[in-house]
């Protein structure tokens, strides 16, 4: 018997939100490397051009869509526009808003913005994408969570709460869609070196180094490409009996 490559994504289309840079870009390039056609997404038109060029140069294919996910209905519209390009087999919910503020410093606008991007658009996308995947009897949702969904730091109070709620949504939908071969899981990174935390690193390089050295067992931040292996697994046929779960990639925490 020939051993099938259970990580092969040829013939699949993956929509990766927030794939203009950071973890989303690395995951998009990783899924493309495994054979998937990629639909890239950034907040503004043109944000994903460089990533698209790298994917095409590697011999894979990618389309681009843009849209601000804080706007009402933007998640649903994004799925509809992606489906007009190709059936979305794999949805990576990666774009997120993170405002560093303790509870006492949190403004109503900070709260509304993080709720809209992290929860509102997630619900919107799931409402639109899951029935379509179910009708096709194959689907994978990879929701990018955070170690803060389990062990929240007070400086990211609202962001952490949205990540916990996002995983809760993934679990309830995993239960509802399990028999349709539509499997939903969370990939939860610890600290990863991206634009998101670059300002903290640049403002106080020594303090940052000390923080990172003691943050996890490996004593370093992760790199975006270190998220790719788990993402390909969760997006593939290799992940055929796992749903509603979380993979933590934290360097030991
Ligand atoms: N980096 C970490 O240490 C870390 C740790 C744990 C979890 N995470 C999670 O991992 C994911 C990726 O993080 P990252 O550090 O790679 O992020 P990043 O470098 O800040 O990139 C954010 C991405 O999301 C898009 N985005 C942001 N706000 C948006 C909006 N309102 N509408 C549409 N798109 C929007 C950005 O698009 P534009 O380029 O067009 O602005 C960009 O592609 C997030 O879910 C984050 O919560 C990150």
Report whether residue 47 contacts ligand 1, using a CB cutoff of 6 Å. yes
Report whether residue 43 contacts ligand 1, using a CB cutoff of 6 Å. yes
Nearest to 231 by CA among 185, 170, 197: 185
CA distance 95 to 20: 10
pTM of the model: 0.98
Q: Give the pLDDT confidence of 118-148 residue by residue, as tens digits.
A: 999 999 999 999 999 999 999 999 999 999 9
Task: Specify the pairing of strand 246-249 against strand 139-144.
Answer: unpaired
The pLDDT assigned to 170 comes to 98
Pocket test for ligand 1, best of 16, 17, 22 (most atoms within 8 A of CB): 22
| Count of Cβ atoms closer than 10 Å to residue 86 Cβ | 15
Give the residue-averaged pLDDT of 209-224.
Answer: 96
The pLDDT assigned to 4 comes to 78
Give the residue-averaged pLDDT of 95-104.
Answer: 97
Report whether residue 93 contacts ligand 1, using a CB cutoff of 6 Å. no
Residue 239 φ/ψ, nearest 5 degrees: -95, 80
211 included as an active-site residue: no
Give the residue-averaged pLDDT of 55-69.
Answer: 98
């Amino acid at each position: 018997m020939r051993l099938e490559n259970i990580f092969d994504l040829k013939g699949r289309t993956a929509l990766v939100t927030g794939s203009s840079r950071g973890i989303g870009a690395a995951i998009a390039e990783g899924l493309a490397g495994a054979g998937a056609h990629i639909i890239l997404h950034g907040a503004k038109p043109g944000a994903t051009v460089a990533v698209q060029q790298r994917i095409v140069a590697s011999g894979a294919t990618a389309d681009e869509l843009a849209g601000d996910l804080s706007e009402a209905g933007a998640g649903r519209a994004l799925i509809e526009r992606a489906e007009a390009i190709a059936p979305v087999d794999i949805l990576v919910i990666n774009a997120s808003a993170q405002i560093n503020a303790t509870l006492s410093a949190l403004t109503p606008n900070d709260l509304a913005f993080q709720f809209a991007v992290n929860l509102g658009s997630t619900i919107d996308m799931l409402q639109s994408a899951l029935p379509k995947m179910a009708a096709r009897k194959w689907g994978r949702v990879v929701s990018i969570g955070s170690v803060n969904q389990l062990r929240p730091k007070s400086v990211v109070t609202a962001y952490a709460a949205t990540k916990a709620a996002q995983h809760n949504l993934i679990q309830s939908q995993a239960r509802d869609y399990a028999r349709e071969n539509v499997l939903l899981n969370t990939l939860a990174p610890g600290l990863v070196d991206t634009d998101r935390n670059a300002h903290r690193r640049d403002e106080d390089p020594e303090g940052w180094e000390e923080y990172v050295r003691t943050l996890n067992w490996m004593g370093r931040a992760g790199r975006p490409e270190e998220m790719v292996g788990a993402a390909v697994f969760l997006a593939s046929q290799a992940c055929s009996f796992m749903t509603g779960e979380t993979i933590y990639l934290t360097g030991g925490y």
